[in-house]
Structure 1
Amino acid sequence: MPNQIIIFLLDTVLGLFSLALLLRFYVQWLRIPYYHPITRFLVTITDFVVRPARRFIPSWRGLDLSTFVLAWLVQFIILIGISLLVGTRAGLFAFSLLALVKLAGMTLNILFVMIIVQAVLSWINPNSPLAPILESFVGPILAPFRRFIPPIANLDLSPLFALLLLQVFMIVVENLQRQIMHAF
């Protein structure tokens, strides 16, 4: 039972921190304005580790690689910690690859939630302060669907088809995680 509690706390606390780092990476990549409260929140809670990491991990073509590498490192630490507590053995390469796949899964989950929130906000309050940020994230995903699927009675069905495609990708990522665990 104590191991379950430690695993839960490790996965929750470090998982949320990894999520914040990954969101900060995407916020900077999409050039969401710094003055927005969400951006400032992400910067505030992750800056203590991102600033020192930027000395060693340079950005590349406008991408803040230090933030992405830190998100990967936190996932790696979670996997190592859980593995030590459970007693499973795997190589460092397996854990590093699995941490990368976990980040891909987190990205898909972020997009899934944002598409749902954006669709609901478009019905309830399309002028919400959150709407431009959500559109920045999900606009590129929905654009191909919007080109081929016209609105029906002023109802945009593109989020529905995007969610279906994201669900397929989530299944692929989940199977990839299983295959990595079984291979190593």
Structure 2
Amino acid sequence: MNADPFVMLVKVVLNLYLFIVLLRLVLQFTRADFYNPISQGVVKATSPFILPLRKVIPAIGRIDTASLVLALAVQLLTVFAIVLMKGATLSATGYAIYTVAGTLYHLLDLYFWAMLISIILSWVAPGASHPGAMLVGQITEPLYRACQRVIPPLGGLDLSPIFIFLAISFLKQILGPYSI
């Protein structure tokens, strides 16, 4: 095995920050409650980089382009660091592909875990008023609604999470070879 602990450490730290940046992007896109303590933590962790970017990069509709640019920059930094640490080389096109595909992969991963938490919470603590449960519900609800327009619930059984999980898994399989 060629498991380099320094490569793993760099990947964990940068991917954790990428997760936080993507979470901010999703929170703004879904118009989640920004007075939620978890949302406030995400905003505080990302504001030092996003606020200067917002001065030069305006939002496009509901998409916070400053957060998107920061997410792509963090993923590009991750790809660059891993390639440099492994002593490999990549073309500019390779960097672009790994950056975009890796960012999309991690965004899908965020939604995968949010949906899994949402499903478990619906069994264990339906209607929970914990800030984390409320935030997960606000993130996943638009995705569920979009799927339910195509596949309505059958009686009391909602099959939309199954189809969303299949779609996410399919897309992650496509993007997997290009994610670092």
Map of 2:23 onto structure 1: 23
- The answer to whether structure 1 residue 36 and structure 2 residue 39 are counterparts is no
Please state whether the residue corresponding to 2:88 is helix, strand or coil. Answer: coil
Please state whether the residue corresponding to 1:55 is helix, strand or coil. Answer: helix
Moved more, 125-134 or 39-48: 125-134
- 1:151 is displaced (CA, Å) by 4.1
Pairing 1:33-112 to 2, within 5 Å after superposition: 33-112=33-112
- 1:133 is displaced (CA, Å) by 2.7
Which AA in structure 1 matches 2:89? R
- 1:157 is displaced (CA, Å) by 2.9
> Structure 2: how far apart are the matches of 1:89 and 1:27?
35
> Structure 2: how far apart are the matches of 1:144 and 1:65?
23
Aligned residues, how many?
A: 176
- 1:21 is displaced (CA, Å) by 0.7
The answer to whether the 8 A contact 2:28-2:63 is kept is yes
> Structure 2: how far apart are the matches of 1:61 and 1:11?
32
> Structure 2: how far apart are the matches of 1:168 and 1:59?
30
Q: Which runs of 5+ in 2 are unaligned?
A: none
- 1:38 is displaced (CA, Å) by 1.6
> Structure 2: how far apart are the matches of 1:144 and 1:28?
18
The structure-2 alpha-carbon separation of the partners of 1:55 and 1:149, relative to structure 1 and needing over 3 Å to count, comes to closer
> Structure 1: how far apart are the matches of 2:57 and 2:109?
26
Q: Which runs of 5+ in 1 are unaligned?
A: none
The sequence identity of aligned pairs, in percent, is: 25
Pairing 1:120-131 to 2, within 5 Å after superposition: 120-129=120-129, 130-131=132-133
- 1:22 is displaced (CA, Å) by 0.9
Q: Which runs of 4+ in 1 moved over 6 A?
A: none
Map of 2:159 onto structure 1: 157
Which AA in structure 1 matches 2:54? R
> Structure 1: how far apart are the matches of 2:73 and 2:176?
20
Map of 1:141 onto structure 2: 143
TM-score, structure 1 length as denominator? Answer: 0.84
TM-score, structure 2 length as denominator? Answer: 0.86
